[in-house]
A and B are shown apart, each in its own frame.
Chain A
């Protein structure tokens, strides 16, 4: 099997800040340095991409640094990484929207990129005209569209309105028509960026199905960027993990997702000893909370469907005290609406005794939460009194995992509002 894409030492420099009169001065300096055969004076001070720091005007950053990888023909590769990791920049270079600052990309075969659905749609033109507009923009020939037109319209489900200007379409119809055109592209290499995140549930499912059939067996090379880890897990056997403009790992998707979630750069243990806003007598207090996986490795965020461990560290105000008849509970809330309560009295029959310090682990099998950030409500009662009771806003971070094995976890709009339950549907 030959290579479809080879990327060699690709870097991309971005200039930050707005263009103003000062930029002209920079440009002149840069030009003068060029004339004298010197390097660009502003490249030297370029920093790695770090969104946490404010960019000074005219500063430059490396959005991509020394990217090397190659992809075989017919491979389906996912690209994951946090916002600002360089995913989109990489796709932009591969789809020829912008040129690399350094390095070289070699591509074999016709490449089509789908960074947006319905690119080039003109509101005044009819659905029919826009199918041709969008199709030709994506690199299709007119005869090719003629041939597939019926199928495209059928797939989109807007046949009735095909001769109506798209400005009268609902946004959902527009998206469906746009995706329908893209679905009938037949490039050798397809680059897809986050386009599955649009449309209603039914359409998402259709789109997922189409993506699946595109990636399976057609021998097509697909590069797929998404924050929807469920989709990545479902579609891509191998993935690329990016952070701060570099490729940190390229390997099996399972391992990549694990590493992505277990981002060591940010604290996975949160100190909560100093929080003021809490109730209870305070003889025993929660001091730390951490999130772990099955093997005890600490995580920054959980993934839907995984075995998740929430560890609560507690400490008594006065050493040498013990607490009897304890009740501990964790309520998971979303926007103040309780979703799930894990409570000790449900899981343990005997009375609980707690020493002056230690930790309590709540293990949740097949974490039933969809993507989102959740509030945690922690409660501890001991020796007949409420000892500590507090709410942590948006502390629990859950990212999409492939809970149902379908790549889709919730209908559109239900993100973070649903509890996932394994279920079966029988149609007769």
Chain B
């Protein structure tokens, strides 16, 4: 455009075919923070609408799961709990595991469930999975309350059960868990946006993964030859560290947690790239 006068025009938005793939739109997400909070509110408010028990369901689910585990894995299978009361042992695992499975399974449905919305209006798409992490966190806090009740009941009864100073680091564990489940979730939602095959895997995959995580058994009960496989699971060190902070059993392994962090970062990296890739043209293939 040789003879065209160069007008110094600054454009706010430029839309092209290829956008940088490694881009987490922090500024845009911040601009849409009210929407983020609305999504969280929607998830929480609508979940138990028109139910009688309402938020009590948040408690019932972990309580029933704990009872079932006590009967089956403790009573029938007789799996060790490292000398910790079974209620305490299982509920610790369940509460943390529930957070992972909740966030992972909801974020992995992002594209499928929000297709209608994505087809009608623009906002940074990453807001949807991020909102699931936050609404999952609220649910986690409620269930944590249940766990703390059980915990204080037992620590009052039995003076050997006392938390150690690692307990102050528990928020970091939750953060790590959030990152890991978000990363996995956006990878899977990206992969399933075109080919739905993986959704079948996700459904029972989460359940199978639980058995590869020390939720219903302590690491100490694992035979040496299987140990390595369980340790390869990046969720393992988080669950173990969580139990260690409260119950003193299990292991607080900095190496293990470092491994989890690195895996989360790598998965997060892959997730963002895939997510950005799919986001661009998702509406054409849905």
Contacts and interface: CB of A to CB of B under 8 A. Distances in A.
B195 interface: yes
Contacts of B280: 98-99
Given A24-B195, A97-B122, A99-B280, A136 B9 contact: no
A93 B15 contact: yes
A92 interface: yes
B194 interface: yes
A268 interface: no
Interface string A1-12: 011001000000
A101 B10 CA distance: 23
Nearest to A13: B284
B11 A107 contact: yes
B158 interface: no
B283 A97 contact: yes
Interface stretch (B31-39, B53-61, B100-108): B31-39
A113 B17 CA distance: 20
Given A19-B195, A132-B38, A139-B32, A92 B283 contact: yes
B34 A136 contact: yes
Q: Which of A14, A107, A133, A137 has the most CB of B within 10 A?
A: A137
A389 to B, nearest CB: 51
Given A15-B285, A98-B283, A136-B38, A107 B123 contact: no
Nearest to B122: A96
Interface stretch (A122-130, A334-342, A407-415): A122-130
A99 B285 contact: no
B121 A113 contact: yes
Interface in A133-160: 133, 136-142
A100 interface: yes
B46 A99 contact: no
Contacts of B282: 98
B13 A106 contact: yes
Given A107-B15, A113-B121, A139-B123, A99 B281 contact: yes
A103 B121 CA distance: 21
B14 A125 contact: no
Interface of B: 9-17, 19, 32, 34-35, 37-38, 41-42, 45-46, 49-50, 117-123, 194-195, 280-285
7 contacts: A14-B284, A92-B283, A94-B15, A95-B122, A105-B15, A110-B12, A122-B42
